[in-house]
Copies of this chain bind each other. A is one copy, B any other.
């Protein structure tokens, strides 16, 4: 009857996606070096042995988390750029997709690439994919400037601001909290694109005004 204990029964539901989502959250909260596979097992409600069925070690988990995040980001651009539209529309759609997918599924929530966490080989592979994402982001910003839709700016610096805003989300976002992933995605993408538009709309988004609320 050992197979029937609650811990082992959970293994059936232990998908790769679930493991990455939970690992990303734990890495983010405790840092890579402060996290053990036991911590991740605890967060998933399974024994470490069950984890080894899916991943070789902690490093592979971190690598897969980073990869998942970059994949979501690139998929956002792929979908946005496949549609007709102006650079501001493309940028807004790409960012909204990235943010909602990341916050909603909590996949790839690892924002840090701590030195020494990944072996040089895996580190280089992540950096290469990240560079690809960042180049795409800068290009869309530069396209908007060239099209006269965005104000003149240094796309590299603005891209860092955009990336920082997004990568910080896992530090404060709580699933089931007061803001839905969709709401955050809409607000962030509108705000981040608005900062570049020469003549942004007067309507930020569909949220009620907060004029007299006190903080």
Binding site for B on A (CB under 8 A): 29-34, 112, 114-117, 135, 138-139, 142, 145-146, 151-158, 160-169, 171-172, 179, 183-184, 187-188, 191-192, 194-196, 198, 200, 202-205, 207-215
Contact = CB atoms under 8 A, between A and B. Distances in A.
Contacts of A34: 31-34, 114-117
Contacts of A116: 30, 34
Nearest to A33: B34
A182 B135 CA distance: 24
A135 B213 CA distance: 12
Contacts of A203: 151-152
Copies in the complex: 2
B200 A142 contact: no
A190 to B, nearest CB: 8
22 contacts: A29-B114, A30-B115, A31-B32, A31-B34, A31-B117, A32-B34, A33-B33, A142-B211, A142-B213, A145-B210, A152-B207, A152-B210, A154-B207, A157-B179, A161-B165, A161-B187, A161-B191, A161-B192, A165-B168, A194-B196, A195-B195, A200-B200
